[in-house]
C-alpha cells in the first residue's frame, strides 16, 4: 500500500458500542455465554483461520484479535500454510503484528479460536495444535462445517464469518474502531462479492453502515482487494483465457506453475480469474484449476443456478457454499475435470 493510502485509512474514528447492535442469529445464547466465559478466563488466546486465507478468514481473525488485545489478552494468530505468507492483496489489513508463522504457534493452546474454517483439514499444518487445544471455539458460516471443536459459534445463514466476528466483538464489550472495521469490512465485501451475491441481506448492509461510519475509505479497500495486480497477472490471465473450454454448461480453464513462473506471479494472485470466467452466459457452472507451488491443483468452482457446487466439491474432498466451493486434486487436469463433470451430470 502506498503511504498516502495508509494515511487516509488511518483516520481515527470510533463508533459508540451499543449504538447499533447486530441483529440476532441462530447461534444459541448459551453458546455465546460459554464463549464469553472461556475468553474471560483466558490470559492467552490462540487464533487461527483457514489456509490460503481470504478477506473473510484473515479479516475476522484480526478483528477479534484487536478486541482481545484491548482486553489485555496475549494474542497469537496464524494460518496453516506450509509457506506462510500473507496474500499480497490482504497486505493492507491492520494488525499483522499479531501473526506468527505456524512454527511459532502454541503446540497445545489452552484456548484456541478458529475463523471461517469448516473442518480441521482446512487449518493445514496447525491441525495438531487444533487437536491438542484444551478449549476450541469455532466461528464459522460454512453449511459444510463438520462440527469440530468444543464450542461452535456457527451460523450458515450469515453471509460472512465477519458477521459472527462482529457479534462476538460487541458481546465482549468491544467497540468498532477503524482498524477493526477495516478487517471486518474486508470479510464482508469478500464473501458477498461486494454486495452482489444473494447472501447480501439487509443485515449485511446494516453491518456495512456501522463499519463505514468509523470513517472507512471503502474505495481504497476495494482497490487494494480487487483493482490492482502486477503486469504478469494479465499475461497469465491471457494464457488461461486462451485455453478456456465450454462443455455442456460448464466453462473452465486452468493455470499451471509454469504459466506463473514465467512472470514470477505468486499463486495467491490467481484468485480473481474465476470471476472473469464465470460471467459466461452459456454456462451455469464455472471452474478454474490453479496449480499451487507443490504441484497440487486447487480447484475453484462457481454456480449460477440450482447446481450445488458445495455438494460436488464435498464428494471430491473439498467444500464451501452452494454457489462457491472448491477442492484439491492431486491428479491431472483431464482426470480431475472428468470426475467433476461426471458429478455435475448427476447433480
**Choice between 95 and 320, CB closer to Mn ion:** 320
Residue ranges in 306-345 that form contacts with Mn ion under rule CB under 5 A: none
Work out how close the CB of 249 gets to Mn ion at its nearest, in angstroms, rounded to a whole number.
27
Q: Supply the minimum distance, in Å, between the C-beta of residue 180 and Mn ion.
A: 17
Exposed/middle/buried for residue 193 (C-beta within 10 Å: 0-12, 13-18, 19+): middle
Pick one of 81, 90, 113, 116: the residue that binds Mn ion (CB under 5 A).
116
* Residue 109 or 118 with smaller CB distance to Mn ion: 118
Nearer Cβ to Mn ion, position 145 or 329?
145
Q: List, in sequence order, every residue forming a beta bridge with 74; answer none if it has no partner.
A: 44
Distance separating alpha carbons of residues 341 and 273, to the nearest angstrom: 20
Residue number with CB closer to Mn ion (62 or 251): 62
Report 190-209 residues binding Mn ion (CB under 5 A).
Answer: 191
Rank residues 110 and 146 by Cβ distance to Mn ion and give the closer one: 146
Interface residue with Mn ion, options 161, 192, 323, 329 (CB under 5 A): 161
Q: Supply the DSSP symbol for 270.
A: G
Minimum distance from CB of 234 to Mn ion (Å)?
A: 28
Q: Would you list the DSSP string of 35-74?
A: HHHHHHH-SEEEEEE-SS--HHHHHHHHHHHHHHHHTT-E
Smaller CB distance to Mn ion: residue 251 or 324?
Answer: 324
Name the residue with the smallest CB distance to Mn ion: 56
Cα separation, 187 vs 178, in Å, equals 14
CB of 262 to Mn ion, least distance (A): 32
- The secondary structure element, H or E, covering residue 153 is strand 151-154
Residue with cell 455465554: 33
CB-wise, 114 or 161, nearer to Mn ion? 161
Helix, coil or strand: residue 122: helix
Please, what is the minimum distance in Å from the beta carbon of residue 201 to Mn ion? 15
Report the residue number, 142 or 260, with the smaller CB distance to Mn ion: 142
Sequence-separated (6 or more) residues with CB below 8 Å from residue 267: 52, 260, 290, 292, 293, 298
Cβ at position 184, least distance to Mn ion in Å: 12
In three-state form (DSSP H/G/I as H, E/B as E, the rest C), the secondary structure along 320-343 is: ECCCEEEEEECCCHHHHHHHHHHH
Question: Could you tell me the smallest distance in angstroms from the CB atom of residue 13 to Mn ion?
Answer: 26
The answer to whether 204 and 178 are in contact (CB under 8 A) is no
Binding track over 35-64 against Mn ion, x by CB under 5 A: ---------------------x--------
The footprint of Mn ion on this chain (CB under 5 A) covers a number of residues equal to: 4
Span from 187-195, 209-217, 276-284, 327-335 in contact with Mn ion (CB under 5 A): 187-195
Span from 154-162, 197-205, 251-259, 319-327 in contact with Mn ion (CB under 5 A): 154-162
Is 291 a binder of Mn ion (CB under 5 A)? Answer: no
Closest CA to 313 of 287, 334, 292: 287
Provide CB contacts within 8 A for 73, sequence distance 6+: 39, 42, 43, 44, 45
Question: Could you please report the per-residue DSSP string of 211-251?
Answer: HHTTT--HHHHHHHHHS---HHHHHHHHHHHHT-EEETTEE
What is the DSSP code string of 91-109?
Answer: TT-S-GGGB--GGGS-SS-
What is the nearest approach in angstroms of Mn ion to the Cβ of residue 50? 9
| From 81-89, 161-169, 261-269, 287-295, span contacting Mn ion (CB under 5 A) | 161-169
3-class secondary-structure state, position 286 = strand
State the nearest-atom distance from the C-beta of 59 to Mn ion, in Å: 9
> With respect to Mn ion, which residue has the nearer C-beta, 78 or 341?
78
Q: Which stretch binds Mn ion (CB under 5 A): 31-39, 75-83, 102-110, 114-122?
A: 114-122
Residues forming the site for Mn ion (CB under 5 A) = 56, 116, 161, 191
Amino acid at each position: 500500500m502506498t503511504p498516502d493510502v495508509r494515511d487516509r485509512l488511518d483516520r481515527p474514528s470510533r463508533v459508540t458500542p451499543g449504538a447499533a447492535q447486530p441483529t440476532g442469529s441462530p447461534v444459541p445464547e448459551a453458546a455465546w455465554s460459554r464463549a464469553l466465559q472461556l475468553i474471560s478466563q483466558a490470559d492467552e488466546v490462540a487464533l487461527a483461520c483457514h489456509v490460503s486465507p481470504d478477506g473473510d478468514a484473515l479479516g475476522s481473525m484480526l478483528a477479534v484479535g484487536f478486541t482481545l488485545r484491548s482486553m489485555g489478552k496475549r494474542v497469537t494468530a496464524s494460518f496453516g500454510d506450509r509457506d506462510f505468507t500473507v496474500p499480497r492483496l490482504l497486505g493492507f489489513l491492520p494488525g499483522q503484528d499479531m501473526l506468527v508463522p505456524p512454527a511459532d504457534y502454541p503446540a497445545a493452546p489452552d484456548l484456541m479460536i478458529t475463523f471461517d474454517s469448516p473442518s480441521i483439514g482446512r487449518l493445514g499444518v496447525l491441525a495438531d495444535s487444533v487437536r491438542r487445544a484444551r478449549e476450541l471455539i469455532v466461528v464459522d458460516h460454512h453449511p459444510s462445517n463438520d462440527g469440530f471443536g468444543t464450542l461452535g459459534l456457527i451460523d450458515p445463514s450469515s453471509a460472512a464469518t465477519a458477521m459472527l466476528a462482529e457479534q462476538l466483538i460487541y458481546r465482549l464489550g468491544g467497540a468498532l474502531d477503524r482498524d477493526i472495521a477495516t478487517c471486518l469490512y474486508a470479510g464482508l465485501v469478500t464473501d458477498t462479492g461486494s454486495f452482489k451475491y444473494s447472501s447480501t441481506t439487509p443485515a449485511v448492509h446494516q453491518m456495512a453502515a456501522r463499519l463505514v461510519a468509523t470513517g472507512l475509505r471503502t474505495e481504497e479497500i476495494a482497490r487494494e482487494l480487487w483493482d490492482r495486480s502486477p503486469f504478469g497477472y494479465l499475461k497469465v490471465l491471457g494464457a488461461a483465457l486462451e485455453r478456456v473450454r465450454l462443455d455442456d454448461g460448464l466453462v473452465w480453464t486452468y493455470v499451471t506453475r509454469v504459466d506463473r513462473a514465467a512472470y514470477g506471479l505468486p499463486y495467491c494472485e490467481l484468485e480473481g480469474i474465476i470471476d472473469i470466467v464465470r460471467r459466461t452466459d452459456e454456462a451455469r457452472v464455472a471452474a478454474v484449476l490453479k496449480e499451487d507451488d507443490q504441484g497440487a491443483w486447487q480447484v475453484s468452482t462457481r454456480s449460477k443456478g440450482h447446481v450445488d457446487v458445495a455438494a460436488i466439491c464435498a464428494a471430491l474432498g473439498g467444500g464451501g457454499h452452494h454457489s462457491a466451493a472448491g477442492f484439491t486434486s492431486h491428479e491431472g487436469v483431464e482426470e480431475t475435470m472428468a470426475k467433476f463433470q461426471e458429478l455435475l451430470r448427476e447433480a
